[in-house]
Structure 1
């Protein structure tokens, strides 16, 4: 997929990875319909790329919000790339989350991308070549304590991506699943960042993540996993989960300590 020929719907465009995707797409010559609930830092980026970047305010948890995005895309003429990058996180034990917080996480991370993809498929199918990009996580392959609901949403997104890719195998639409590791974004609470530092977990810059995702788009890959040794852990977990079970069991006291010290902040 050539980026200068891409007309993109990008969700979560005002967030860390989303904002970098918007900037790098525009710099490469793509046309971008940026979707977010609030404009935020997109405002200055729109001033730099007035002929390439357009904004649509929408709450993707709602049918009305998703319909607004599709309607705006139709006004633009055509779309050949959908990037589902919107997402939220919550570093908390399952019983620390209330019902509303759990529902909101699943609505944004899972229901919204499934429903928006379904609504956009007629637009994508009409193109000679089209692509759906689902931004997942390493935690879509490795269940990690303190992230049970987040892992649930990303495991499901990974499964959706795999199944949809096979479902569309005889069409012009491909599906890319991108799995970043921990990334320096505002989505992470200070407790989550502190835990990563205590466990010496590598954290990537959003610009590097966006660059890797777009390289996978251009090379027409079906999956991309970021970070080392995280890519190795994904393979080990798929073949020998007991090894990962024992390794994470040793980390539980540290994880519980950071959740306990910052439980109010980490629950969104």
Structure 2
């Protein structure tokens, strides 16, 4: 898909990757509808974007009311060529330490919101169009401390795959993009320190945004980011015991940092 003069609805626009992606989409000639909950941050971002015709849409996509508000706005203001489901949430903690709200929020934002929005988007979009769901390599590799996050992103991957096949004759493509760890505020100091200790790679928001843009422009259906993580995805699918053995060697460090989550609650 070429982005010149395309209308794009971007969720999670106020986040680290979201701000970079908004700038790159606008630089490519797209007109953006920036969706999020923090209106001052979104308004500040709109003021920085090149081009004209960009708008702010304040809504909580984790709620049915928020999805309905987006649906009404898009129906009233013309078609959307590209929906980017970028908003997401994670909580690095052992499952025994997670609060009920932690579990519900991750599933609502990472899985249910993209499903609901993409369903509604099929009423706004005039083919050829595209839906982009931003997942994670952890959607294909179960990792201690991220059990709920892994589950929600795995569900998003399979949903994206199934929806792309369902829409195969409709000229609407679904792209699933799976970054590895990214240097954004979504990862707190515990995660950043753990990744340094374990030697885990971490990408910049600018680079991840460029990869999403490339996937869109190439009309891809899947794009896995980061090396050797995308190799581990393949190995985990074929020989999961090898990945289990590798993670087992890291588990003492992983659990040490995951258990610190309880300290943040006090």
**Mapped contact 1:33–1:73 kept (Cα < 8 A):** no
- What's the counterpart of residue 46 of structure 1? 46
Q: Is residue 2:68 matched to residue 1:64?
A: no
Query: SS of 2:4's equivalent?
Result: helix
Query: SS of 2:109's equivalent?
Result: helix
Range moving further from structure 2, 52-61 or 71-80: 71-80
Provide Cα deviations, 1:134-179, integer angstroms capped at 9, x if missing partner: 0000001100011000000000000000000011011011100000
**Mapped contact 2:7–2:81 kept (Cα < 8 A):** yes
How much has 1:75 moved relative to structure 2?
2.9
How much has 1:44 moved relative to structure 2?
2.8
How much has 1:264 moved relative to structure 2?
3.4
Which structure 2 residues correspond to residues 17-28 of structure 1 after superposition, within 5 A? Answer: 17-28=17-28
How much has 1:123 moved relative to structure 2?
1.4
Looking at structure 2, the residues matched to 24 and 264 of structure 1 have their Cα atoms a distance apart, in angstroms, of 38
- What's the counterpart of residue 231 of structure 1? 230
Provide Cα deviations, 1:195-250, integer angstroms capped at 9, x if missing partner: 11110111100011011001110010110011111111111111110100101011
Provide Cα deviations, 1:112-133, integer angstroms capped at 9, x if missing partner: 1111111111112xx1300000
- What's the counterpart of residue 133 of structure 2? 134
Looking at structure 1, the residues matched to 209 and 123 of structure 2 have their Cα atoms a distance apart, in angstroms, of 26
Q: Is residue 2:213 matched to residue 1:214?
A: yes
- What's the counterpart of residue 243 of structure 1? 242
Looking at structure 1, the residues matched to 68 and 4 of structure 2 have their Cα atoms a distance apart, in angstroms, of 26
Looking at structure 2, the residues matched to 128 and 168 of structure 1 have their Cα atoms a distance apart, in angstroms, of 11
Identify if the C-alpha distance between structure 1 residues 163 and 263 changes in structure 2 by more than 3 Å, giving closer, same or farther.
same
Q: How many residue pairs get matched? A: 264
- What's the counterpart of residue 98 of structure 1? 99
How much has 1:92 moved relative to structure 2?
0.3
**Aligned Cα RMSD in Å?**
1.3
How much has 1:40 moved relative to structure 2?
4.9
- What's the counterpart of residue 31 of structure 2? 31
Give 5+ residue unaligned stretches, structure 2: none
- What's the counterpart of residue 169 of structure 2? 170
Q: Is residue 2:121 matched to residue 1:120?
A: yes
Range moving further from structure 2, 232-241 or 72-81: 72-81
Provide Cα deviations, 1:49-95, integer angstroms capped at 9, x if missing partner: 37232111101121211111122222331111110000011100001
How much has 1:261 moved relative to structure 2?
3.3
How much has 1:262 moved relative to structure 2?
4.3
